[in-house]
Amino acid sequence: MAELSRLVVGIDLEPAYVERIREAFPDLEVVVCTEPAELPAALAGAQGLVTWRVPPEALAAATALRWVHFAGAGVDGVLSPALVERNLVVTNNSGVAAPNIAEHLLAMMLAFARGLPELMRYQVRHEWHHPSRRFELGGQTLGVVGLGDIGAELAWRAAALGMRVIGLRRRPGEPPRGVERVYPPEALHELLGESDHVAICLPLTPRTRHLFGPAEFRAMHRDAYLYNIGRGAIVDQEALIAALQAGEIAGAGLDVTDPEPLPPDSPLWDMPNVLITNHTSGGTPRYWERGIEVLLDNIGRFRRDEPLRNVVDQREGY
């Protein structure tokens, strides 16, 4: 049995959830420490840490630390070289926000289908007009680039609306629910050419940085829409702006940009065929309702020397 006698919760977790940890593991010392300056001292003798990020000084002081659980899903900004060098077990909350992010993506798709961005501009101006373009999602093809938790949640929801869903992922295997066909990474352009809507559901890694550039936008059809809820740097933003200005694609729904916040002078703000939602797709009142189950499960698994859920491949970056 792996020792886990002291767990530091370095986030502002609701007291009810902290109490659930203590009730489930009465012999586990649970220390709540939300002040960064106090974290190094709190980590003395602690084998586990729940956090958004690990400050260098805290990591250096945590000599007994064996496991870090990140409260978020993306780890591109928190996997420091010093942390990777320690060779600790690192897990995250991947999948916890997948249902609401999938709904957010569908909301953007439906908004374009019903002309809502244009109608909302008319409403602000107190003008009564019909939108210039409307269509139905049913019968159209959605290409999901990245069939992890978010991509899988999106796929079956889109299929329920009558969409044909195809996807792309690195590892072979059975298609997730609602997915008609799975393409390997080298067939990205083939997937793009078939899709009326392309949803980027990838983490940011060295492999995925600027995965979408001029060639990818040329591979899409002119009436296709791009959506990004992964990380802004997965898309070459200048190339996206050029593609939108040239009419190479019909529009874009962007929850993430590069950089963030998006500068006020970015042309994207004023484009009528662009939806910007300011990195809000992950927000949900049910986040820790699901997240606490992952954390409790992993505490038990760690103590039983069983494989943990959501283990991060620190070399690959996700």
Q: How many residues can be counted in the chain?
A: 318
**By CB neighbour count within 10 A (0-12 exposed, 13-18 middle, 19+ buried), where does 69 fall?**
buried
d(CA 227, CA 220): 13
Whether residue 271 sits in one domain with residue 166:
yes
What is the token pair recorded at 290?
A: 């699901």
Q: Chain-wide mean pLDDT for the chain?
A: 97
| Residue 201 domain-assigned (yes or no) | yes
97 vs 218: CA distance, rounded Å: 32
Domain match, 242 and 255 both:
yes
pLDDT digits (tens, 9 = 90+) for 142-155: 999 999 999 999 99
Q: Catalytic one among 260, 289, 306, 316?
A: 260
Do 84 and 231 have their domain in common? no
Same domain flag for 134 and 235: yes
Residue 261 lies in a domain: yes
From the list 53, 69, 157, 231, the catalytic residue is 231
Q: Is the peptide bond before 26 cis (omega within 30 degrees of 0)?
A: no
Based on the residue annotation, tell me whether 121 is a catalytic residue of this protein. Answer: no
Do residues 253 and 230 make contact, with C-beta atoms less than 8 angstroms apart?
no
The stretch 191-195 carries a mean pLDDT of 98
One domain, residues 73 and 152: no
Of the chain, the percentage scoring pLDDT greater than 90 comes to: 98
Q: Structural domain tally of the chain?
A: 2
Q: What is the pTM (predicted TM-score) of this model?
A: 0.96
What pLDDT was estimated at residue 120?
98
pLDDT score for 217: 98
What are the pLDDT digits (tens) for 69-120?
Answer: 999 999 999 999 999 999 999 999 999 999 999 999 999 999 999 999 999 9
pLDDT band at 65 (very low <50, low <70, confident <90, very high): very high
In terms of domains, do 31 and 123 share one? no
11 is a domain residue = yes
Instruction: Answer yes or no: is 256 within a domain.
Output: yes
| Euclidean distance between CA atoms 300 and 28, whole angstroms | 11
Q: How confident is the model at residue 2 (pLDDT cuts 50, 70, 90)?
A: confident
CA distance to 28, 128, 269, 270, 275, per residue, from 125 (Å): 59, 9, 18, 15, 18
The one catalytic residue among 66, 86, 279, 301? 279
Question: Is 279 a known active-site residue?
Answer: yes
Q: Note the pLDDT tens digit of each residue in 211-220.
A: 999 999 999 9
Unique residue bearing structure tokens 């709540």: 32
- Which residue carries 């680039």 as its tokens? 145
3-state SS of the chain: helix, strand, coil percent to 5?
Answer: 35, 15, 45
Residue 142: strand, helix, or coil:
strand
d(CA 117, CA 143) in angstroms, rounded, equals: 22
Is residue 315 one of the residues assigned to a domain?
no
Which pLDDT score is estimated for 1? 59
Known active-site residue 66: no
Could you tell me where the beta strands, DSSP code E, fall in the chain? 6-9, 29-32, 48-51, 67-70, 89-91, 141-145, 164-168, 181-183, 197-200, 225-228, 251-254, 274-276
Shared domain check, 92 and 102: no
- Which CATH number goes with the domain that contains 56? 3.40.50.720
Are 199 and 106 contained in the same domain? yes
Buried b (16+ CB within 10 A) or exposed e, 230-264: bbbbbbbbebbbebbeeebbbbbbbbbbbeeebee
- Supply the range of the domain harboring residue 180: 98-276
Tell me: do 77 and 18 sit in the same domain.
yes
Same domain, 19 and 104: no
- Residue 70 to residue 289: CA distance in whole angstroms: 16
